[in-house]
Structure 1
Amino acid sequence: MTTSSDWITVGALADGFAPEAFILPNLADLSDKVFTLNFASGGQIEHRFNAETLSWSAADGHSSGTAPYRATSIRPGLYLVDFIKHENDLSSSISLVLDTHSASFTAVIGRMPTQANSAEGLYGRALAGKPLTSVEVDFVHGSLDRPWQAGQCPHVPTNELTGLRNLYRYSPSEVYEHIYLNDQFYAWQCLEGVEKGLCDTDRCHYYKIADQLYLFVWREKIIPTLGLVLIDMQQHRSDGKIFGYASASFDELSNFPVSSYCQVLNRTEYPDA
């Protein structure tokens, strides 16, 4: 069990989650498939999948590369594809929610802070009007294999999780609780596992992907961390990843899968103000 000061790196967290983890299998059925992502903001990137790697190529020629990827499907016709893009001496976390039912996608692009940015104190960030977390994230939407038209992507911000208290079992030894406070913040605590006894309130983002299926993304402020999961309230399962620096030296990234069996503990209903 940890004490109140035992914060650990994302690499150590990955080691704790690994034994007997309830992760979904990496899919083979994307192999040899091609998806062309047409962005609502303009631009087009082709993603070509092989058995273990995907290659991307922008129509304007400004971006291309190859990387290992993980692909899962928490519901038929919907894929979560995750990989690390290394371009121009920068590394970004890329997570794609590919929705073949609506022929649309949501891309989540995350970036870790530099060591210098991470060393900036929370008090100083607060006084400067900055977010307390130094982890950056962008959400972009678009259409699959057809030109973009307004309203084509049904993935939208939601408050349907607000007030929910949910329990997540990631392995026999790793158990967490989430409390979704409002449209910007949630609280978490580790009930069992390598972070047992730790808790915090962090910045988060919610998107509704389909009926009772949500994309939940959080950005931690103590240890630079980006977490991303799809939460299926029908099947009581979640699947996603955690991304951050493997060690305190900031010289290696850790990007590991997390899946859970989840259950609702209760829901708080607030009276009208």
Structure 2
Amino acid sequence: MTEQITLSDTRTWLPLDGLAPGFDASKAEPSHALDGRTITVVDERGTRVTHTFDDGKVAWEYAPGAGDSTAADARTDPCEVFEVDDELFYAQFHHQHHPTEAVSLVLDLRGGHALSIVSVLGEASPGRTAVQQVFVPGRIEGIEQSGPAPAPTTELIGRRVLWVYSSEHAYEHVYLSPHWYTWQCLAGPERGLADTDENSVWRIRPGICVFAWREKVIPCGSVTIADHRDATAIRSHGVLFGADEAGAGATHFTFGAHGRLISTTVHPDAYDPARPLER
């Protein structure tokens, strides 16, 4: 007799560790284009973070600016770098000295812009997911800035996209509003599961967005960057970060996916979820 799965019983959902095997089959080969380079990112507070990349590692130095309560520090962490577009890179590293923090760094060496996303693993509470994410735009020192800086965007709202992570893992995303999206597993160990979770979307270049989400059932979050310019051949690079099965440590792994647009919903202006909320 086939065992029946109670899809609504979230206690039986896979922990993040259970998703990892094979999930990274579509991950791009890491890039070594930044090896030997030092890149300093400065934000509006005057905080300076200097990154020196070298063959799977990043040595970073954090110098806080005015109003930044984070202590000065300097460390070296394992790091993966992925090339998203011409002179556009996504770097991902997990702090060894502080394993409840992971950093996603988007570097636009053509436009001189950067976006840092710090993911912090804590405890979930009513109205608060276990993983919280902080988005910090900045400029790259020594490169003249051109074009718009990274900024929140509503351009994905209404799209339904199929994402294939491996020959066994496939999901669809429906981008609902500036705050919410719905995911459904179409193939893989979570097949049949679905939920609506928090998301944040930032535009990096025309057609290229950072999409980040924070799950409420499984204590995890993700930061991805995706090139949506060809709706039939969307490409993403990302990370999943959250609590391990025992709840005693963190799980952190990078992945990639190939996507395609399935459909687009166009709302009448009066009911457009992209409109600012009125209080």
Relative to the length of structure 1, the TM-score reads 0.87
Larger RCO of the pair (alpha carbons < 8 Å, separation 6+): 1
* Match in the other structure for 1:145: 141
Structure 1 letter corresponding to 2:267: Y
SS at match of 1:69: strand
Find the aligned partners of 1:148 and 1:141 in 2 and give their Cα distance: 15
Which of 10, 13, 23 is the matching residue for 2:16?
10
Distance in 1 (CA, whole Å) between partners of 2:154 and 2:47 is: 30
Offset of 1:255 from its aligned partner?
Answer: 1.2
- Percent identity reads 29
Could you report, residue by residue, the CA deviation over 1:89-131 in whole angstroms, capped at 9, with x for unpaired residues? 5631100000111111000001111xxx34x5xxxx1xxxx33
Gap change, CA 1:210 and 1:2, over 3 Å in 2: farther
Unaligned runs of 5+ in 1: none
**1:40 touches 1:148 (CA, 8 Å); kept in 2?**
no
> 5 Å matches for 1:1-273?
3-4=6-7, 5=9, 6-18=12-24, 21-59=25-63, 62-87=72-97, 89=98, 91-113=100-122, 117-118=123-124, 120=125, 125=126, 130-131=127-128, 133-146=129-142, 154-235=149-230, 236-247=234-245, 249-273=246-270
| Dislocated runs of 4+, deviation >4 Å | none
For residues 23 and 31 of structure 2, the distance between their equivalents in structure 1, rounded to whole angstroms, comes to: 21
1:239–1:147 distance in 2 versus 1, CA, 3 Å: closer
Q: Residues 179-225 of structure 1: CA distance to partner in whole angstroms, max 9, x if unpaired?
A: 00001000000000011111000000001111111100000000111
Please state whether the residue corresponding to 2:266 is helix, strand or coil. coil
Residue by residue, what CA displacement relative to the aligned partner does 1:205-252 show, whole Å, maximum 9, x if unpaired?
Answer: 0011111111000000001111111111124111111111222x2223
Deviation per CA, 1:33-60, whole angstroms, max 9, x where unpaired? 1001111222111111111211111246
Say whether the 8 Å CA contact 1:164–1:266 is kept in structure 2.
yes
Aligned residue pairs total 255
| Partner SS state of residue 237, structure 1 | strand
Q: How far apart are the structure 2 equivalents of 1:198 and 1:83?
A: 29
One-letter amino acid matched to 1:240: G
- In structure 2, how many angstroms separate the alpha carbons of the residues matched to 1:161 and 1:52? 32
**Contact in 2 for aligned 1:71/1:82 (Cα 8 Å):** yes
Deviation at 1:152, TM superposition (A): 7.7
The answer for unaligned runs of 5 or more in structure 2 is 65-70, 271-279
Q: CA deviation at 1:145?
A: 1.7
Q: Would you say the 8 A contact 2:161–2:172 is kept in 1?
A: yes
